[in-house]
Structure 1
Amino acid sequence: MQLDVFLKQVSLNHALNVLIWHLAQAGIEIAELVRQGALQGVTEKTASTNVQGETQMQLDIRSHELALAQLRASAVVAAVLSEEAESPVLFETVDAPFLVSMDPLDGSSNLAINGVVGSIFSVLPNTGIATQGEQAFLQPGQLQRAAAYIMYGPATLLVLTLGQGTHVFTLNHDSQAFELTQQNLAVAEETSEFAINASNQRYWQPAVQRYVNECLQGADGLRGRDYNMRWCASMVMDVHRILTRGGVFLYPRDSKQPARAGRLRLLYEANPMSLLVTQAGGASIEGLDDILALQPTACHQRVPVLMGSTQEIRRLREYHQQAQA
């Protein structure tokens, strides 16, 4: 079943269906640039940095431009918040029904090693961007109308939720269309796998130190089974593995840069990925509170993220509660 047919069957909101179709088209265009790589000159670093102070790759900028063009062409988007722009980009259609937050190219440092990268999108209702300005984007993640990521790997995958389960579509390169290949993903409640950047271990809070130490003790420790650790330096790839075979993805609060509560951006990384994981039966917290319940305070706000299998996230929440008691 192709994406457009699926959308007509599950959603009665024509404008939302149009928006998702244009997101998919942006993904098809970005996938071709990723596939060409150095042949298109998009794997080189630029002399510029984004609002986060991170060095931009050529493909970061091209992906941002391609996604903006598709979202503008949809005529159902009023404004876009992007990791690659300091302020939201307002379209002429300021009264259109939706706002989109996006990370146009997640994991771009992987381009140098031909690793997996992706694009992340969050769709919110437009509550009045014309009068509220960027404040209109500061909505809790539970108000998202849709969330998606597109993963550029051996196959190009669109992983989508409209609030009715999480589904996977695979790009058919012959027809240039996304086709439904997995419906209603379910995150395994238990897991023997975790993803974390272990190089930051000395900066972690006690609750995360405790959890990871128990995992590393394996069958000889409290947990009574061996664990595997994975880390791809791409949120899209690490979260996709959790959706596919269970596990937890951990980017916790740490003391390495005390001014930052976490590393991942709430509006265009943590919120859309949390909606995708929870719609697949998983859980997502910042330590104590559910990610989707957080009230954003800034467009590029960063938060800690712990997401994945429900039993493991429950344990991590309990460890945080005990550490604060």
Structure 2
Amino acid sequence: MTKENLGLPVGTTLDRFIKRKQDDFPYATGELSQLLRDIALAGKIINREITRCGLINLAGAFGATNVQGEEQQKLDVVANIRFIRALRNGGEVCAIISEEDEGIIDLENPNGKYVVAMDPLDGSSNIDVNVSIGTIFSIYRRKSAPGGPITDEDVLQKGSEQVAAGYLLYGTSSILVYTTGYGVNGFTYEPSLGEFFLSHQSLKSPEDGKIYSVNEGSYNTFEPAVKEYIEYCKSREFSGRYIGSLVADFHRNLMKGGIYFYPASAKAPNGKLRLVYECNALAFIAEQAGGAATDGHQRILDITPTKLHQRTPLFIGSKKMVEQAGHFFKQATEHHQPAAAVTSL
């Protein structure tokens, strides 16, 4: 064994990688880099809470519902608090949009140049059974003048206006994946060192795939175009893989090739997933990795939101699979089938 083998490098840390990439953003003078570090710090704290939640009574329901009418888990509340605190203390953010809060969270920071939209803990209903969960975030530049009140123009921006987006996946290993519009990179957390290390450089999604991810329990309430696409997948013996954690399903398909979709249904006629802090972020990542994301008819990143918690159908993943799904919607339109032909059970 040589001296070199005894001291092999451990890799590139997230902090070092971000610093190297600062030149991509001459207008940011370091603020965006610091903001990404703040998000990574909060992710480390959430990772710690998740790994020990069964030992410190953090598993289970909190006893309240969020603005979506969904039962909050204790870790939903913890994650929301941790991320808000990290972003407030970092000093780069003026406002936050969170799945867990009804209105805009004004951080009363007149110098903050950024708005963050986030789902602090995606898939939290899976916490009690040790299934992978995650965090999703979008970063936008503030449009209104600093020092004034936060405006709708600041928080209701199209996904195409994101300056960065990413997610953290807490699983067998925890990974942070993000883009600033210059490709997608992934960093795996090394808990003994407390650092994220570059592990997936310049991620590219396979152009095509053989995995489809959808909750087929709602099949009877889907519109005809969705049913036809599901039957198309089955006829080609694609693998059905559905975890029920959006980040986990998206990450698997990003790595292996596939499509995730949550269409409109009788129970959720406008879709269930939130445009501003779930779909936009993942759509930005998907496109930067060579994939695609639509609502079945139009590009997700082109949709102008009108509400903080606006919902939308989502078809996202490998480019050819998303295009094929859209083909069924186009056929339905050409044959004048009603777009919302869903059936109540």
TM range (shorter): over 0.9
CA RMSD of aligned residues (A): 1.2
> Residue in 1 aligned with 2:84?
68
* SS state at 1:268 partner: helix
Which structure 2 residue ranges, 5 or more long, are not aligned?
1-11, 335-345
Matched to 1:192, the amino acid is K
> Residue in 1 aligned with 2:204?
186
> Residue in 2 aligned with 1:249?
260
- Using the TM superposition, give the Cα deviation of residue 40 of structure 1 relative to its aligned residue in structure 2, in angstroms: 2.1
Matched to 1:264, the amino acid is L
- 1:165 is the counterpart of 2:183: yes
- Using the TM superposition, give the Cα deviation of residue 106 of structure 1 relative to its aligned residue in structure 2, in angstroms: 0.2
Equivalent of 1:211, from 210, 215, 229? 229
* SS state at 2:55 partner: helix
- 1:235 is the counterpart of 2:246: yes
- 1:289 is the counterpart of 2:298: yes
Matched to 1:195, the amino acid is S
> Residue in 1 aligned with 2:275?
266
* SS state at 1:47 partner: strand
C-alpha separation in 1, matches of 2:84 and 2:149 = 22
* SS state at 1:39 partner: coil
* Kept in 2: contact 1:79–1:94 (CA 8 A): no
C-alpha separation in 1, matches of 2:108 and 2:155 = 17
- 1:96 is the counterpart of 2:107: no
* Kept in 1: contact 2:253–2:317 (CA 8 A): yes
Matched to 1:298, the amino acid is K
Equivalent of 1:54, from 70, 73, 77? 70
- Using the TM superposition, give the Cα deviation of residue 255 of structure 1 relative to its aligned residue in structure 2, in angstroms: 2.4
C-alpha separation in 1, matches of 2:325 and 2:238 = 16
C-alpha separation in 2, matches of 1:39 and 1:269 = 30
C-alpha separation in 2, matches of 1:245 and 1:185 = 11
Equivalent of 1:316, from 322, 325, 328? 325
Aligned positions, number? 316
C-alpha separation in 1, matches of 2:327 and 2:299 = 13
Matched to 1:285, the amino acid is T
Matched to 1:179, the amino acid is F
> Residue in 2 aligned with 1:306?
315
- Using the TM superposition, give the Cα deviation of residue 128 of structure 1 relative to its aligned residue in structure 2, in angstroms: 2.1
- 1:115 is the counterpart of 2:115: no
C-alpha separation in 2, matches of 1:40 and 1:245 = 36
* Kept in 2: contact 1:141–1:291 (CA 8 A): yes
> Residue in 2 aligned with 1:223?
none
* Kept in 1: contact 2:175–2:189 (CA 8 A): yes
- Using the TM superposition, give the Cα deviation of residue 134 of structure 1 relative to its aligned residue in structure 2, in angstroms: 4.1
C-alpha separation in 1, matches of 2:277 and 2:114 = 15
User: What TM-score, normalized by structure 1, do the two folds share?
Assistant: 0.95
Instruction: Decide which moves more: 7-16 or 62-71.
Output: 7-16
Instruction: Decide which moves more: 297-306 or 41-50.
Output: 41-50
- Using the TM superposition, give the Cα deviation of residue 70 of structure 1 relative to its aligned residue in structure 2, in angstroms: 0.4
* Kept in 2: contact 1:87–1:134 (CA 8 A): no
* SS state at 2:62 partner: strand
C-alpha separation in 2, matches of 1:151 and 1:94 = 32
* Kept in 2: contact 1:3–1:169 (CA 8 A): yes
* SS state at 1:93 partner: coil
C-alpha separation in 1, matches of 2:124 and 2:250 = 16
User: What TM-score, normalized by structure 2, do the two folds share?
Assistant: 0.89
The runs of at least 4 aligned residues of structure 1 exceeding 4 Å deviation read none
* SS state at 1:188 partner: coil
Kindly provide the CA deviation profile for residues 64-112 of structure 1, in whole angstroms up to 9, marking residues without a partner as x: 0000010001101001110011111111213411000000000000011
C-alpha separation in 2, matches of 1:276 and 1:11 = 19
> Residue in 2 aligned with 1:39?
55
C-alpha separation in 2, matches of 1:300 and 1:94 = 25
> Residue in 1 aligned with 2:288?
279
Equivalent of 1:9, from 12, 15, 20? 20
C-alpha separation in 2, matches of 1:19 and 1:39 = 31
* Kept in 1: contact 2:95–2:150 (CA 8 A): no
Instruction: Choose 1 or 2 for highest CA Rg.
Output: 2
- Using the TM superposition, give the Cα deviation of residue 135 of structure 1 relative to its aligned residue in structure 2, in angstroms: 4.4
Matched to 1:152, the amino acid is Y
- Using the TM superposition, give the Cα deviation of residue 190 of structure 1 relative to its aligned residue in structure 2, in angstroms: 1.3
Matched to 2:176, the amino acid is L
* SS state at 1:38 partner: coil
- Using the TM superposition, give the Cα deviation of residue 5 of structure 1 relative to its aligned residue in structure 2, in angstroms: 1.0
Kindly provide the CA deviation profile for residues 201-230 of structure 1, in whole angstroms up to 9, marking residues without a partner as x: 011111111111011123xxxxxxx21001
Matched to 2:191, the amino acid is H
Q: 1:288 to 1:306 in 2, by over 3 A?
A: same
Identity %: 34
- Using the TM superposition, give the Cα deviation of residue 132 of structure 1 relative to its aligned residue in structure 2, in angstroms: 4.7
- Using the TM superposition, give the Cα deviation of residue 256 of structure 1 relative to its aligned residue in structure 2, in angstroms: 2.6
Which structure 1 residue ranges, 5 or more long, are not aligned?
219-225
C-alpha separation in 2, matches of 1:175 and 1:302 = 39
* Kept in 2: contact 1:95–1:128 (CA 8 A): no
